[in-house]
Amino acid sequence: MPDQGAVVVVGGTRAIGFEIAKHYAETGHEVVLTGQSRETVDAALAALDGRATGLVFDLAEPGSIAPALAPVGPVHHLVLVAIDRDQNAIREYDIPGATRLTTLKLVGYAEVVHALLDRLDESSSIVMFGGQARFLPYVGSTTVTTVNGGVEGLTRALVHELKPIRVNCIHPGIVGNSPYWENRQAALDATRARTPTGRLVTMADIVAATAFLLESPALNGVELRVDGGLHAT
């Protein structure tokens, strides 16, 4: 029997966020997914055969978030997945790109929580997405590495401020079957070779790990690395 309240997936139109929305829709939960445009949201809702509702807002425009979330009712699980990747190296620093991603993940994620606070209750839980670039930077990951570290800071702040609401974050490794990695075979092969399990993380792995964080009553303030053990090598 589904719990009271919706599962809200911010960045649920495609890839990992869509798979999370699909998992909860298929298990009978009320699902609200969000994206940046009416077209991407409607396409995701059609792919779910209407088993979810959708909202449109830009996380990088934080002032637009609260009005856009007004139609949402009680929220049981909130998942903040969205990213608009910023390829940015410190030697060629691009301020607009850095500002957009930093605003999106750090101010935008925080504002979604703030805007929905009156619809969360003591049993609600939140999962926010970082990524392994937080621990394994590469040239071009200046902003991505920074915001993924910021997601951890935000997680700890919210655990403290929102108790007893549980707040966790997840750092996926390279998710081999996610669309971003299509046509990047060399990077996938190199990662698989370095990963102790000898396999790449899948979107299904991330859905399972997200559900584990959302639904386990004792998990709070966890920064979960889901990377097949790459971080331990």
Residues that bind ligand NAP (CB under 6 A): 11-17, 35-37, 40, 58-60, 81-84, 104, 129, 131-132, 172, 174-175, 178-181
Under DSSP, is residue 121 helix (H, G, I), strand (E, B) or coil?
Answer: strand
Phi-psi region of 108 (alpha: psi -120 to 50; beta: other; left: phi over 0): alpha
Instruction: Pick the closer one to ligand NAP by CB: 34 or 124.
Output: 34
Least distance to ligand NAP, CB of residue 55, Å: 10
Token pair of 211 as six digits = 């559900």
C-beta of residue 90 within 8 angstroms of C-beta of residue 37: no
Instruction: Pick the closer one to ligand NAP by CB: 124 or 210.
Output: 210
Least distance to ligand NAP, CB of residue 123, Å: 25
Instruction: Pick the closer one to ligand NAP by CB: 20 or 159.
Output: 20
Question: Residue 78's beta-bridge partner residues?
Answer: 8, 126
Least distance to ligand NAP, CB of residue 45, Å: 12
Q: Which residues does 211 contact at the CB level (< 8 Å), separation at least 6?
A: 20, 23
Residue nearest to ligand NAP (CB): 131
Q: Which residue has the tokens 């792919």?
A: 47
Least distance to ligand NAP, CB of residue 8, Å: 13
Rounded to whole angstroms, the Cα distance separating 169 from 100 reads 21
Instruction: Pick the closer one to ligand NAP by CB: 80 or 120.
Output: 80
